[in-house]
Amino acid sequence: MMKCDNCGNENYLLLTRQNPKGQKGIFHCEQCTGTLVDNVGEALVEAIKGDSQEQSHD
């Protein structure tokens, strides 16, 4: 499992790619991004699609 580039924790699924200042491949875990997930598959799809489509899954 990869390590979160923000907090260094390895016990979380890394779901969000952050690209500050043009850097590539910076990953933050769901705790750092505030995105706790129930459906891992759905969250991975959302992470891959990116933030272009904001949808709420209530």
pLDDT in tens, 29-51: 877 777 666 666 676 777 777 65
For the chain, the domain total comes to: 1
CB 23 within 8 A of CB 4: no
The rounded Cα 33 to chain-centroid distance in angstroms is: 7
pLDDT at 58: 52
**Does residue 6 lie in a domain region?**
no
**Does residue 5 lie in a domain region?**
no
CB 7 within 8 A of CB 33: no
- Domain with 41 in it: 14-49
**Does residue 54 lie in a domain region?**
no
Mean pLDDT calculated for residue range 1-27 = 71
Q: To which H or E segment does residue 41 belong?
A: helix 40-49
